[in-house]
């Protein structure tokens, strides 16, 4: 079952033993406990979502795009600059061909730009979802843990609980996600060694 933003907030609140909420609108809260819960969820939710998306290339939030070349080139080293999509949270890989053949393209991320020498670039990245209901169960569980870890100190003044929540994330949820995502993805292409690539490119890779 897909979890809504309120569902995720309430799961996180329950993890830290706090009052659950019916809305993030504090005007609809009925007592001080729910008002405080709603206020803190409003403060921490977006930050928690972005941190969760950056810590792992979730299948449910992965997208592809062709990047637009910017008019102003980098001052040195790289020939071209490309603008990252507005919803890009984490770059998974950048390719110089639409078949996504990994040619060991050199690139760097600076600010909201990709700098590279490739004349065409294709991006695979983790995107901020329009709605959190698209998150798969493990991504939602990770977000719940991250949000709960931020809520536990202001709500319960319990730093030990925060470490326990982060431990659950690192030792249980993320390893499960890596295992399941690996089985869900299938690619016949494996990265060639530099020796093999040199044979096809005609020159030694130095």
Domain layout of the chain by residue ranges: 5-57+135-184, 61-129
Tell me the per-residue pLDDT of 28-70, one tens digit each, with 9 for 90 and over.
Answer: 877 898 999 999 999 999 999 999 999 999 999 999 999 999 9
Q: With 90 as the cut, is the pLDDT of residue 201 above it?
A: no
Question: Do the Cβ atoms of 53 and 126 come closer than 8 Å?
Answer: yes
Q: With 80 as the cut, is the pLDDT of residue 205 above it?
A: no
Question: According to DSSP H, which parts of the chain are helical?
Answer: 5-15, 32-54, 137-156, 159-168, 174-184, 194-201
Tokens of 128: 């901020």
Q: Is the pTM value of this prediction over 0.75?
A: yes
**Length of the chain, please?**
206
**How would residue 136 be classed by pLDDT, with cut points 50, 70 and 90?**
very high
């Amino acid at each position: 079952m897909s979890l809504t933003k309120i569902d995720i907030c309430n799961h996180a609140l329950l993890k830290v033993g706090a009052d659950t909420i019916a809305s993030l609108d504090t005007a609809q809260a009925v007592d001080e406990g729910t008002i405080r819960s709603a206020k803190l969820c409003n403060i921490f939710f977006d930050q928690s979502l972005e941190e969760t998306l950056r810590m792992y290339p979730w299948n449910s939030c992965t997208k592809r795009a062709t990047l637009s070349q910017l008019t102003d080139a980098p001052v040195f080293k790289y020939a071209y600059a490309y603008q990252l999509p507005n919803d890009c949270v984490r770059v998974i890989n950048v390719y110089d061909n639409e078949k996504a053949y990994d040619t060991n393209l050199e690139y760097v991320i600076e600010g909201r730009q990709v700098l590279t020498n490739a004349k065409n670039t294709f991006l695979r990245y983790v995107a901020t979802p329009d709605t959190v209901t698209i998150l798969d169960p493990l991504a939602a569980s990770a977000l719940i843990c991250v949000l709960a870890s931020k809520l536990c100190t202001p709500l319960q003044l319990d730093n030990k609980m925060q470490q326990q929540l982060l431990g659950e994330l690192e030792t249980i949820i993320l390893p499960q996600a890596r295992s399941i995502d690996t089985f869900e993805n299938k690619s016949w292409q494996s990265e060639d060694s530099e020796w093999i690539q040199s044979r096809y490119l005609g020159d030694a890779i130095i």
